Structure 1
Amino acid sequence: MLISKHLFYLSGDQLCAYLWQGGRLSGGELFSNDHAGVERFLDYVDSHGVLPAYLLADLIEEDFQRVQLPHVGGAGGRKLLQRRLLQQYRETPYRHAEVQGRESGGRRDDIVLLAALTNVAAVQPWVRALEQLKMPLAGLYTTTLLSAELLRKLGLRDEHLLLITQHSAGWRQSYFQHGQLKFSRLTPAIDRDNRPIDIGAETAKTQQFLNSVRLLGRGAVLHAVVLAPAAATAALSAQCANGPETAFRFIALRAAANAMGLRSDDSAVAELGARVAEPMLLAQLGRQAPAGHYALGAMRRYYLLWRTRLTLYVASAALGLCSLVWLGANLWQTQTADAASARLLAEAGQYDQRYRAVMAAMPPRVTSTANMRAAVNVERMLATQAPSPLDMVAMVSAALEQSPQIRLLQLDWKVSLPGAVPAAGQDETQAVPISSLLAGIPGRPPQALLVEAEIVADQDDYRGAVDSMNHFAQQLARQPHLTVAIDKPPLDTRSSVKLSGKAGPATVEARAKFSLNLVWNP
């Protein structure tokens, strides 16, 4: 990340402060582990403003224990792990647990590595100083757990690997089995007689301990990789002789720093990186910091507040950027719409000009364009909605197809309009205004049709004539919205009418005639 950071390297007797800016490590100011050094440290941190802080501890008082716990998942497993960690290290709040796999047989218990910084007094003064300044302390880390990244970057994949690195605090020996940390110890670089320690002898002690705790089996070869300055390789090689169960390999710190991608703007830091290993670990911490190794509890609250504030700033910037993009898109759409509107207006002006030119070349009009348009609309309305006898004639024709003995004599069609009376104060001699229903406004009016017909049948068969008329009337009544009423039957049996007839050959005058009143409401 491009965010500037405070990187602090803590050893037993001092703290070294670095700055991580623009992907480069700089600084390296030392502060002694006493009251005066802490006061100078407060002034130093306060002068650089509020930056997230990362504390890397490299202490002799770092303990590692391997235990087996029942395999329990979820929240219950986490509680079991924390309870076991608290039982192992009650005197320190800086504890860490890491599940490294499961046993191959039996209950298949979890294999857990427990770690803790047992010297609380070496850490708390610096943590409290950062809390006093309300600095965002991101996490407390250890060089031992960060060294696992060195294996990957340097391509070290031996089954039994002892990584020996030189730090400002001394020589760190970390044992890895299949790439997983199992044990680590820190020894001073100078012994009590003020002489450099023998790396070969210390390696033999570590190998003997690993054999005693059954981490390293008899006959297994321990590959010891020594990260040391190139100038000291010859002297160290004389101390480290290969044996049947020990194989030494030397890697120069400068080459390891290049493999880790360490860059520095400070020549002092570059020189320090050629002598000790912590600049590589600090660069790794500044480039991509993992979650804190040792829990800080409430000491981490200012970092959480700082991260929340940074998240809000980023969200606000993203929202502002989205708003600018949205505004730009709207402005572009507005310009596009304005251009399209101007183009349409220009086209409309051209059409109006062409229309006026065409109209100017035409002869004088009888009436206005609006009147002509209204006349056309009225004509179309009359053609579609005005009443016409064709519809009712078609109904009668369809009924005659089903009644061949019926012969049509006469049709009388008319439109049934509501009674029109003169308006109040109007001269009765004046004509009553024509109803708009004749034009089909607002709908087609009711229509009436008087049908006069005769029945071609045998003489004196009045029952057959009546049946023929009824069948014809039923065929007409099946038409929708059509009402059929018998006006005059072929045989009038009313009491007020004289019943008469003639016997003999049938004549035209003697044929049975009838009339029907049809009313259609479209």
Structure 2
Amino acid sequence: MAAKRILLLDGPALTAYYWHSGRIKTEGEFSHEPVGLEALAAYLKKHRSSLFYVLADIAEEGFQLEDLPYVQGADRSALLQRRLSQYYYNTPLSAAISLGRATEGRRDEKLLFAALTRVETFTPWLDTLREAEAILAGVYSVPLVLASCGPQVLGDKDPVLFVSLTRGGVRQSFFDQGKLHFSRLSQLATRSLDEIGRTSAADSAKIFQYLLAQRQIPRGTALRTVILAHAGQIPTLQRFCSNTSDLQFEFADIADMARLQGLKDVPGDSNADNLFIHCLATKTPVQQFAPANERRFYRLWQIRFALTSAAWIVLAGCLLFAGKTSLNLYELADTINATKAVTATDNQRYNSILEGLPKISVTADNLRALIGRFEALQKRTPAIEPLLLHLSLALNDAPRIELTHLTWKTSDRPDPSQKIAEDPKRGPGAAPVVDAAAGNWAVIEIQAQLPLALIADQRAQIELIENFAARLSDPKTNVKVLSRPFDIESDKPLKSTGQRGDAQPSDVPKFALRIARQL
């Protein structure tokens, strides 16, 4: 992280401070004369990698409160810029601070327009910073610093007037609901405790009347006034700051506040410069006064810092990935060694089993090839199961038919008894014509019988057999009835079946059929 250096401007001179881990060190004081500006330029070039914060503690300040309609985006920026140019047309060191939105009505936004009104005071210092290409983080004022750290000490409920002492004089800052509304600096002539006490009491009374006239506080209520001072100087200040019907004075120990904010070098008097410098370094306000062109090198530093941080993050991720990969390789090496040991043990067991087997004339390679061919033949064996399943479903649908005998085989045509016809045009000795139906067929010949009760009803027998054959027949299955319980050809003599009561078990009607399906 870049070092932080604060340039405190509280008059004609500028003082440089170095902040690090809660400790503040004075590094130089520069005047606005050419010699002082040259010394400042040399100082800036010496610490060109540091972040510089300009902290102004001067009386030339302006504050304006206004309620505006709530807008966003480019319209908001244009509206705020127009209001700033109307209030502070002669200075670019201005800022708009949002104090929140109203809870009723249009819910307008309350804004505080603040500025450092005397730009001539900052011109030589900003020119020197720009020429030295210093990384200027921003131009801040003591009221902006108080706005970021004051509510932690003062609370965020009732209106309160906060009085502090700096090298520039006595500063009174008014807060309402934890938001800064106004600040004023009164310069001192002798900086004695008596003068500090009289100035604090007198200016607090004047500010009370001003706030009452501006209707920022209700009438008839006392304004809480907190004075930040050293514990050893509080009794002297209390002689001048006594409670009245308008002001209720409270005193806060600067040492307690310094410890609360994390400042390691506790102030030895009531001067709060080091405390405000520490708050600026640790709780930098979001708002500042410097225009964008003055902070160009700070923007470049932010981009460089973001890229460097991203590079470090990528590097850390790569290192973690490399470490994880190394751990995985280490675990993989252990797994490989364990696998090799198991493989060696299995080989030894396999060899011992082979040695215990009877010796055969076939070598291991030939035996392996033979088994492979046997498995290939098994895969090529035609499957009869679909046709048998089809027959089983048909028998389930015809429970009156009883299967007595079944034979199956594979053939090159659905009717194995059919002979291949010869083409007379081709002449004797020519190759026979192969029928389109030729191929690899699964053929099942079944013999079944009908119920004995149907022996006298030939029509029912024919109907039952034809229904069973129709149930078996489909586009993939060829069905042919081979024999029936009786002869129906015209050249066969009719035979009487007798009465049903005279039927014997040997006279049960029987039939046979053949089903074939191409494999």
Same fold (TM over 0.5): yes
Q: How far apart, CA to CA, are the structure 1 residues paired with 2:304 and 2:89?
A: 35
- 2:415 is aligned with 1:416: no
1:281: which partner in 2? 276
1:5: which partner in 2? 4
Are residues 149 and 468 of structure 1, via their aligned partners in 2, closer, same or farther at CA, if it must alter by over 3 Å?
closer
Question: Which segment is superposed worse, 46-55 or 245-254?
Answer: 245-254
1:142: which partner in 2? 141
Cα-to-partner distance string for 1:469-510 (whole Å, 9 max, x where unaligned): 5743552453364423356783444xxxxx36478899xxxx
2:237: which partner in 1? 236
Question: How far apart are 1:453 and its partner, in Å?
Answer: 9.9
Matched to 1:132, the amino acid is: E
Question: How far apart are 1:150 and its partner, in Å?
Answer: 4.6
- 2:350 is aligned with 1:355: yes
Q: How far apart, CA to CA, are the structure 2 residues paired with 1:307 and 1:160?
A: 38
2:181: which partner in 1? 182
Matched to 2:255, the amino acid is: R
- 2:403 is aligned with 1:446: no
Question: How far apart are 1:17 and its partner, in Å?
Answer: 0.8
Is the Cα contact below 8 Å between 2:403 and 2:447 reproduced in 1? no
Is the Cα contact below 8 Å between 2:173 and 2:180 reproduced in 1? yes
Matched to 1:112, the amino acid is: L
1:316: which partner in 2? 311
Matched to 1:446, the amino acid is: A
Alignment of 1:292-441 (within 5 A): 292-365=287-360, 367-368=362-363, 374=370, 378=374, 385=381, 395=391, 415-417=410-412
Q: How far apart, CA to CA, are the structure 1 residues paired with 2:79 and 2:397?
A: 100
Matched to 1:260, the amino acid is: Q
Determine helix, strand or coil for the equivalent of 1:311: helix
Is the Cα contact below 8 Å between 2:51 and 2:137 reproduced in 1? yes
Are residues 367 and 234 of structure 1, via their aligned partners in 2, closer, same or farther at CA, if it must alter by over 3 Å?
same
- 2:476 is aligned with 1:478: no
Gaps of 5+ in 2: 417-438, 499-507
Are residues 248 and 451 of structure 1, via their aligned partners in 2, closer, same or farther at CA, if it must alter by over 3 Å?
closer
2:420: which partner in 1? none
Question: Which segment is superposed worse, 372-381 or 281-290?
Answer: 372-381
Cα-to-partner distance string for 1:107-145 (whole Å, 9 max, x where unaligned): 665443221111001112222222212222112111012
RMSD: 4.5
Is the Cα contact below 8 Å between 1:226 and 1:251 reproduced in 2? yes
Question: How far apart are 1:354 and its partner, in Å?
Answer: 1.1
1:248: which partner in 2? 249
Question: How far apart are 1:149 and its partner, in Å?
Answer: 4.3
Question: How far apart are 1:276 and its partner, in Å?
Answer: 1.6
Are residues 466 and 263 of structure 1, via their aligned partners in 2, closer, same or farther at CA, if it must alter by over 3 Å?
same
2:39: which partner in 1? 40
Q: How far apart, CA to CA, are the structure 1 residues paired with 2:185 and 2:132?
A: 32
Question: How far apart are 1:27 and its partner, in Å?
Answer: 2.3
Question: How far apart are 1:295 and its partner, in Å?
Answer: 4.4
Q: How far apart, CA to CA, are the structure 2 residues paired with 1:504 and 1:218?
A: 135
Matched to 1:343, the amino acid is: A
Question: How far apart are 1:451 and its partner, in Å?
Answer: 7.0
Matched to 1:209, the amino acid is: Y
Is the Cα contact below 8 Å between 1:389 and 1:413 reproduced in 2? no
- 1:74 aligns with one of 68, 72, 75: 72
1:428: which partner in 2? none
Cα-to-partner distance string for 1:417-447 (whole Å, 9 max, x where unaligned): 489xxxxxxxxxxxxxxxxxxxxxxx97433
Matched to 2:228, the amino acid is: L
Determine helix, strand or coil for the equivalent of 2:19: strand
2:436: which partner in 1? none
Matched to 1:172, the amino acid is: R
Are residues 469 and 285 of structure 1, via their aligned partners in 2, closer, same or farther at CA, if it must alter by over 3 Å?
same
Q: How far apart, CA to CA, are the structure 2 residues paired with 1:221 and 1:513?
A: 124
Determine helix, strand or coil for the equivalent of 1:343: helix
Gaps of 5+ in 1: 265-269, 420-442, 494-498
Matched to 1:259, the amino acid is: L
Question: How far apart are 1:458 and its partner, in Å?
Answer: 11
Q: How far apart, CA to CA, are the structure 1 residues paired with 2:250 and 2:453?
A: 133
Are residues 359 and 189 of structure 1, via their aligned partners in 2, closer, same or farther at CA, if it must alter by over 3 Å?
same
Cα-to-partner distance string for 1:299-342 (whole Å, 9 max, x where unaligned): 11211110010000000000011011111111111121121122
Are residues 396 and 213 of structure 1, via their aligned partners in 2, closer, same or farther at CA, if it must alter by over 3 Å?
closer
TM-score (norm 1): 0.76
Q: How far apart, CA to CA, are the structure 1 residues paired with 2:300 and 2:119?
A: 25
Are residues 156 and 29 of structure 1, via their aligned partners in 2, closer, same or farther at CA, if it must alter by over 3 Å?
farther
Q: How far apart, CA to CA, are the structure 2 residues paired with 1:354 and 1:13?
A: 98
Percent identical residues: 27
Are residues 491 and 20 of structure 1, via their aligned partners in 2, closer, same or farther at CA, if it must alter by over 3 Å?
same
Are residues 350 and 102 of structure 1, via their aligned partners in 2, closer, same or farther at CA, if it must alter by over 3 Å?
closer
TM-score (norm 2): 0.77
Matched to 2:6, the amino acid is: L
Q: How far apart, CA to CA, are the structure 2 residues paired with 1:247 and 1:172?
A: 17
Question: How far apart are 1:359 and its partner, in Å?
Answer: 2.2
Question: Which segment is superposed worse, 131-140 or 309-318?
Answer: 131-140
Are residues 371 and 252 of structure 1, via their aligned partners in 2, closer, same or farther at CA, if it must alter by over 3 Å?
same
Question: Which segment is superposed worse, 384-393 or 337-346?
Answer: 384-393
Are residues 466 and 361 of structure 1, via their aligned partners in 2, closer, same or farther at CA, if it must alter by over 3 Å?
same
Determine helix, strand or coil for the equivalent of 2:225: strand
Question: How far apart are 1:279 and its partner, in Å?
Answer: 0.9
Q: How far apart, CA to CA, are the structure 2 residues paired with 1:150 and 1:218?
A: 28
Determine helix, strand or coil for the equivalent of 2:181: strand
Are residues 317 and 401 of structure 1, via their aligned partners in 2, closer, same or farther at CA, if it must alter by over 3 Å?
closer
Cα-to-partner distance string for 1:145-179 (whole Å, 9 max, x where unaligned): 22234533434567342222111111112222343
Matched to 1:35, the amino acid is: P
2:97: which partner in 1? 98
Is the Cα contact below 8 Å between 1:407 and 1:455 reproduced in 2? no
Are residues 492 and 369 of structure 1, via their aligned partners in 2, closer, same or farther at CA, if it must alter by over 3 Å?
farther
Q: How far apart, CA to CA, are the structure 2 residues paired with 1:31 and 1:512?
A: 131
Question: How far apart are 1:262 and its partner, in Å?
Answer: 1.0
Are residues 505 and 213 of structure 1, via their aligned partners in 2, closer, same or farther at CA, if it must alter by over 3 Å?
closer
Determine helix, strand or coil for the equivalent of 1:93: coil
Is the Cα contact below 8 Å between 1:153 and 1:259 reproduced in 2? no
Q: How far apart, CA to CA, are the structure 2 residues paired with 1:397 and 1:32?
A: 112
- 2:514 is aligned with 1:521: no
Q: How far apart, CA to CA, are the structure 2 residues paired with 1:46 and 1:100?
A: 39
Matched to 1:378, the amino acid is: F
Alignment of 1:106-121 (within 5 A): 109-121=108-120
Are residues 503 and 259 of structure 1, via their aligned partners in 2, closer, same or farther at CA, if it must alter by over 3 Å?
closer
